[in-house]
Amino acid sequence: MKLLAAFCVSLFLADWGASVCRADESMPPAAKVIRSEALRKNNSPEGRPLPLAAHWHRRYCPLSYQIDLISKGSHLLPWLPTPVPQRDAGNALGENKAGLKTLRKWKMPFVLITGGQWEATLYDHKLKWRKLPPDKSPLVVPHEPIKGKDGKVKLTAKQLSPFGAVEPWRQVGEYWMGSPGMKAIQEAYPDPPMVIIVSNNEAHDLRWHEVGRKSKRYLDKYGKGRDNAFKRKVVAEGWIRRYGAMLTSMRGALVKDAWRKNSRFAAYSALGPNHLGRWSAWKTYSLITDKYVDPGPVIWGGAVAEYYDNHWQPQKSIWGAWSCQTEAMNMVLLKTEALKIKPEFWHEVIFWDGNLPGKQNDRYTTYTKKGFPPSPERYRGWVQYGMWLLTPRVAREWRSSADKRERWEAYFNAIIKAVDLVHSDKTLTRFWRKGKLVRPAENLHPFKTNVPQRLKDRNRWYHLRTSLDPEYPLKLNSVFPVFTLARVIGEKPNRQWLLYAHAPRGDKKGVEVNIPGYRKIRVNIALSGSFYHIGEKDDEIKQVGVLNKGA
């Protein structure tokens, strides 16, 4: 019997292995790479995982569109919308049903994007949690009575509290992940190797600087007169406990073993404050403590970090000392801190160029008026700077949910090209995997105000000096005709560098760039970005990473 059982097992394994091979043979080559890189550990012996492209848009980027791009050779990590418990109960898969079958056939990891935030359901007036009595409510119990428009006194505010009841957080996690729509997706694809489940993470919550005037629970427990550091600490601890309860409940509500084992919960803007040090009151919008720069990496398994040229910040620009580029230099520190907390922290960067047609201060309009109209080429140069500075697992784009793909597809294609180039150019592949960021000796970062003592010695500046630089020390409106960075491999005298630079105001020729510890070189820098490989041994400079014609 034992021999017969062993023989049957061997036949089963052989048949299973053959089916896997057959599935692999039917996969597009890019799909195999996507699966391999998405599942690669952050600290694998081969080096960093190569980047993958993706979008936040769920309406105009169905799986059929994504699969078509993958079949043509693009390196996209598939995504689809997270089912909304009440709305999507009967048709969670919709037009993505066939695409999900393909993902299962290919054994592909994928991402679920939630356009809202799960915990916001706790203050939805249509559901039970909004109506709970103060002692059982997850919401703010006000210090002073609040009168509604109807003249009635409100016992709780429409705002989540870090001191509120914990049980509703567990319940809301189960409500989302135990929904009929989520069960339908798990039935359609019961054995994914990895699922990243992402929250928009912008719930209406109580800020630490509000606790002394808004929260009865806080005042009852701690009284008045506590300093700001104490308030940030107890608020951060409160969120860690409540979000932790919700996420634990969410995992437990998943019905398939593979989903419970292989799911990670990530959130938009959960890496920390990229505005660190920009102005004197920056900590007002931060939960920095003596222990953490931000509690986000303690709570979440990953972050979708913002690289936004916000249209509501007119002082900021893509060529300024206050820019996404300098904010992203802060995020190098934030990512380092996150990986200390969780070595396998999932890190994405989400890009948006501030384009909202018809809105006040739309970036495309304001830049055109200044003589620097937008283009996919300029966008690509700007995106690649963030990519090569932060080496994210995913380069994701954001556009308004009502904005049709036809209008912005050329810009998303610029991100796809930037990602595919890392995969296709051997030099870029090697430096992405193994290259170490070059940090100039001086910390010239313009965000230096009210920085905690323990972070003051951390050099957050990665731009290499050029012949076109503005005067130092920098002002927030200082103009950078070019932005540079470099990654290095090897030790002296056999070092090799990959220099990346882009010229956001138009191509620049004969720009002198200082490679720290080596020498100054002279290169041409394109609007769309330029890569140069520099070899110390042969004193050789060679342009690399050039797109093929028509790409």
Residue 499 lies in a domain: yes
Residue 520 lies in a domain: yes
Residue 533 has pLDDT above 60, yes or no: yes
- 303/404 Cα distance (integer angstroms): 26
**Residue 502 is part of which domain span?**
453-544
pTM above 0.75, yes or no: yes
Residue 423 exposure: Cα atoms within 13 Å on the Cβ side: 23
Residue 481 has pLDDT above 90, yes or no: yes
Q: Are 411 and 353 in contact (CB under 8 A)?
A: yes
Q: Are 467 and 447 in contact (CB under 8 A)?
A: no
Average pLDDT over residues 330-358: 97
- 436/444 Cα distance (integer angstroms): 19
Q: Please give the mean pLDDT across all residues of the chain.
A: 93
Could you read off the pLDDT of 88-135 as tens digits, one per residue?
Answer: 666 778 889 999 999 999 999 999 999 999 999 999 989 999 999 999
The structural domain count of the chain equals 1
Q: Which residues contact 36 (CB under 8 A, 6 or more apart)?
A: none
Residue 500 lies in a domain: yes
Could you read off the pLDDT of 351-371 as tens digits, one per residue?
Answer: 999 999 988 899 999 999 999
Local structure of 145: helix, strand or coil = coil
**Given pLDDT bands bounded at 50, 70 and 90, which one contains residue 63?**
very high
- In terms of residues, how long is the chain? 551
**Given pLDDT bands bounded at 50, 70 and 90, which one contains residue 14?**
very low
Average pLDDT over residues 182-206: 97
Average pLDDT over residues 334-339: 98
Residue 461 lies in a domain: yes
Label each residue of 287-355 as H, E or C. Answer: CCCCCCCCCHHHHCCEEEEEEECCCCCCCCCCCECCCHHHHHHHHHHHHHHHHHHCCCCEEEEEEECCC
Residue 143 lies in a domain: no
**Given pLDDT bands bounded at 50, 70 and 90, which one contains residue 278?**
very high
Confidence at residue 548, expressed as pLDDT on a 0 to 100 scale: 55
Residue 270 lies in a domain: no
Confidence at residue 155, expressed as pLDDT on a 0 to 100 scale: 80
Confidence at residue 550, expressed as pLDDT on a 0 to 100 scale: 38
Confidence at residue 24, expressed as pLDDT on a 0 to 100 scale: 57
Residue 419 to residues 50, 176, 267, 428: CA-CA distances in angstroms? 8, 33, 22, 10
Could you read off the pLDDT of 287-314 as tens digits, one per residue?
Answer: 999 999 999 999 999 999 999 999 999 9
Residue 482 lies in a domain: yes
